[in-house]
Amino acid sequence: MKASVARALANALDHHRLGRLSDAEAGYREVLESAPDHPEALHRLGSVEHQLGRSELALHLIGRAIAVNPRHPAYYNDAGIVLHALGRHDDAAASFRRTLSLAPDHVAAQNNLANVLREQGKASEAVAIYRAALARGGASHDLSYNLANALADLGAYDEAVTRYAHALGLGETKEAIAGFIGALVSAPLRDVPADVRRLAVRALATPWARPADLAAACIRLLAGVPAMRTLLDRAWNAWPSRIGFGALFGTDAAVVLDDPLMRTLLESAPVCDPHLERLLTLARCALLDAAAGSGVDTHAALPFACSLARQCFINDYVFASTDDEIAHATRARDALVGSLTRGEAVSAADVASTATYFPLHSLGHDDALLARAWPEPLDALLTRQLREPTEERRLRDGIRRLTSIDDPVSMSVRRQYEEHPYPKWVALPATATTGSPDANTGSRFPRALWQSGATRPLDILVAGCGTGQESIEIAQAFPRSRVLAVDLSLASLGYAARKAHELGLANVEHAQADIMRLRSLGRTFDVVSSVGVLHHLADPAAGLRELASLLAPDGHMLVGLYSERSRGDVVAARRFIAERGYAATAGDIRRCRQDLISANDARFAALALRSDFYVTGECRDLLFHVREQRFTLAAIADMLAALGLRFNGFLLTADVAARYAQRYPSDPGMENLQNWERLEAEFPSVFAGMYIFWLQKR
């Protein structure tokens, strides 16, 4: 009898380990027919029932096992797991504590108990238990990840990002990557190990998030190195004088030239820090001198020079320059063009140095440059400054024109974005084509839309897509849906089409159209997204009405409008620009930026925190736009009421949502615009310059 029970239990355990739950269930029940109070069969059958979704029955069975053998710690641990799933958190914690009273070194129970405590808001207790479990159990991905989550709850971001890095070293999961990114962008990064820097390089290069969203954190990492801090201070104090390579770098050149994080940042996103910008501006001039033969090893400096040239291309050559410097750069460019014209040899250093001042596609010698063999860093630079612009021009010729563009304001806006496509971006994180939320689009779309997108194709309109960052993310996230992305600017659309082509996306079309003429398409859409666009129209309310007319029944609309309160720094800067008479030209934008940085005026301090301030075309969009209107929440409420549109809530950062929930717990949907008006009056920067919100037809 005992032998047959043992064999039946062993067979059931084998089925269970292999995931054959129905066979395991039958096997455990066979054991219980012969031995109704067999504790291990009761316990294991309870585990199977829990896996099959029958948690109440599971709890009953594990309870019977405990009644037979009340000294077995695993029974209490699994009972706690079931209680937790049933939402009985206090009972689950008690069950895990009972496990630990019987087996103090039970690491799984420690992890489970800490997880429950964290969910109950007891992060400090959870941290202590996770630490003890790690001390007893050694390296563990799950424990390190869970400890990092609890540390992030407490705002201990430096240690959190370190723990996420440790977890990623033991196994890369989407959850750990997302946690690492969240902690990285929040952490002061004053005391973190080298692993964090290495992962920051991967996060930029892969990328794990939009590189522009990681730039500020990467700059903090760079500035945390004492030698880099010295160089940043030296450049700031020397400004606006240009100093030679040796005087600028001293013995610390390798801190800039050979740092993988520095190079990857320069190649991936605009540098959004005035101190680092000034160091790079002086480094550019020093490299120009070095290329002219100042005794510096230009071969060793070539990879950095190419990365710097790629940065200059990304930021629309926003760095300031003196008249003498431009004259020197122009002579160097003309000499390079002359050599290319005559078919003479040219050095890689000369090409890279020229590319830090002038885009290579402006030289008119693409074929001569591309026909030669170059070191890998320079070839990558040629891709950015020659091959990609050529492809954009080719694709631009094939873009469909869906409507006329004859409104005077629309024509002025189009002209601006033809000259400066907006925004400049290099890469987006890869999105698995599963129709499920990802780190970039997941929080932007209501759950109902994700469910709809998983069950049927959606028709989605992106009205004012610019260079395609949003439209491409949406097309990646909803691979079964059809995305139409329209914009006024063919230059922006060519950029977007190239990026979509590179990613092999077949479900997005980029086309030229005026929002005010879209009704002529004769189509409706399940989702319309128009963020940062309507406030540039002659009549934003009319534009919103036009877009609302395109919504299918129960369709959703995502809208972004400038906040009057949150753009106080922009309003002050626009007044400064008008008073000083700056024009919306690249040269005046560069000059204006330096005057704003040097003004030491509190009204302009927040500008340095805006990433748009660090790219010529984006600074034009920020401060020199041909048409800008700003809104209050009261004005938005009136506009929505007049158009019969229902407000369905803002897109919010976690800290803003928590602040609102604390102030107004009676509005869990966070849809009361009067409450938001009061909150914004108290915290004027709460919307960071733009209201982004969901709408539906009433």
Residue 139 is predicted with a pLDDT of: 82
Checking if the pLDDT of 342 tops 90, the result is: yes
- Residue 137 binned pLDDT confidence (cut-offs 50, 70, 90): confident
- What value does the mean pLDDT of the chain take? 93
DSSP letter at 634?
A: H
Residue 478 is predicted with a pLDDT of: 93
Strand residue runs (E) in 410-458: none
- Alpha carbon of 565 to those of 305, 330, 474, 597, 651: distances in Å? 41, 44, 30, 22, 18
- Distance between CA atoms of residues 565 and 525, nearest Å: 32
Angle at 611 between CA 230 and CA 260, to 5 degrees: 50
* Sheet order of strands, 551-562 included: 508-512, 482-487, 459-463, 525-531, 551-562, 690-697, 645-650
- Distance between CA atoms of residues 378 and 348, nearest Å: 7
Checking if the pLDDT of 412 tops 60, the result is: yes
- Distance between CA atoms of residues 288 and 296, nearest Å: 11
> Residue 492 falls within a domain, yes or no?
yes
pLDDT in tens, 193-217: 999 999 999 999 999 999 999 999 9
Checking if the pLDDT of 56 tops 60, the result is: yes
CATH number of the domain at 427, please: 3.40.50.150
pLDDT in tens, 229-255: 999 999 999 999 999 999 999 999 999
Checking if the pLDDT of 295 tops 80, the result is: no
DSSP H or E segment with residue 463: strand 459-463
pLDDT in tens, 515-536: 999 999 999 999 999 999 999 9
- Residue 21 binned pLDDT confidence (cut-offs 50, 70, 90): very high
pLDDT in tens, 459-484: 999 999 999 999 999 999 999 999 99
- Whether cis (ω within 30° of 0) applies to the bond prior to 421 is no
Q: What is the mean pLDDT of residues 177-196?
A: 95
- Residue 19 binned pLDDT confidence (cut-offs 50, 70, 90): very high
Query: Do 163 and 24 belong together in one domain?
Result: yes
Query: Do 501 and 596 belong together in one domain?
Result: no
Which tokens hold the place of 590? Answer: 């560069």
Query: Do 558 and 588 belong together in one domain?
Result: no
Checking if the pLDDT of 434 tops 60, the result is: no
Q: What is the mean pLDDT of residues 493-497?
A: 98
What's the total number of domains in the chain? 5
> Residue 357 falls within a domain, yes or no?
yes
Query: Do 465 and 365 belong together in one domain?
Result: no
> Residue 615 falls within a domain, yes or no?
no
Listed residues 185, 209, 235: the one ending a domain:
185
> Residue 412 falls within a domain, yes or no?
yes
Checking if the pLDDT of 432 tops 60, the result is: no
Query: Do 590 and 654 belong together in one domain?
Result: no
> Residue 525 falls within a domain, yes or no?
yes
Residue 431 is predicted with a pLDDT of: 64
- Residue 514 binned pLDDT confidence (cut-offs 50, 70, 90): very high
Residue 294 is predicted with a pLDDT of: 61
Which tokens hold the place of 2? Answer: 């005992």
- Distance between CA atoms of residues 497 and 472, nearest Å: 9
Query: Do 364 and 418 belong together in one domain?
Result: no
Query: Do 28 and 128 belong together in one domain?
Result: yes
Query: Do 447 and 525 belong together in one domain?
Result: yes
Q: What is the mean pLDDT of residues 135-148?
A: 91
Residue 217 is predicted with a pLDDT of: 98
Checking if the pLDDT of 18 tops 80, the result is: yes
Query: Do 330 and 229 belong together in one domain?
Result: yes
Non-local (6+) Cβ contacts of 653 within 8 A are: none
Residue 442 is predicted with a pLDDT of: 56
> Residue 623 falls within a domain, yes or no?
no
Listed residues 185, 209, 233: the one ending a domain:
185
Checking if the pLDDT of 384 tops 90, the result is: yes
Query: Do 387 and 420 belong together in one domain?
Result: no
Checking if the pLDDT of 433 tops 80, the result is: no
> Residue 210 falls within a domain, yes or no?
no
Listed residues 185, 204, 237: the one ending a domain:
185
Phi then psi dihedrals of residue 406, to 5 deg? -130, -5
- Distance between CA atoms of residues 200 and 215, nearest Å: 10
Q: What range does the domain containing 39 cover? A: 2-185
Query: Do 554 and 677 belong together in one domain?
Result: no
- Residue 444 binned pLDDT confidence (cut-offs 50, 70, 90): confident
Query: Do 233 and 277 belong together in one domain?
Result: yes
Q: What is the mean pLDDT of residues 154-166?
A: 97
CATH number of the domain at 28, please: 1.25.40.10
Residue 316 is predicted with a pLDDT of: 97
> Residue 444 falls within a domain, yes or no?
yes
Distance of CA 683 to the CA centre of its chain: 24
Rounded-to-10 torsion of CA 8, 11, 17, 21:
-70
The rounded radius of gyration (Å) of the Cα atoms in the chain is: 30
Residue 435 is predicted with a pLDDT of: 46
Burial 198-235 (b: 16+ CB within 10 A, else e): ebbbebbbebbbbbbbbbbbbbbbbbebeebeebbebb
pLDDT in tens, 535-588: 999 999 999 999 999 999 989 999 999 999 999 999 999 999 999 999 999 999
- Residue 443 binned pLDDT confidence (cut-offs 50, 70, 90): low
Angle at 33 between CA 32 and CA 36, to 5 degrees: 50
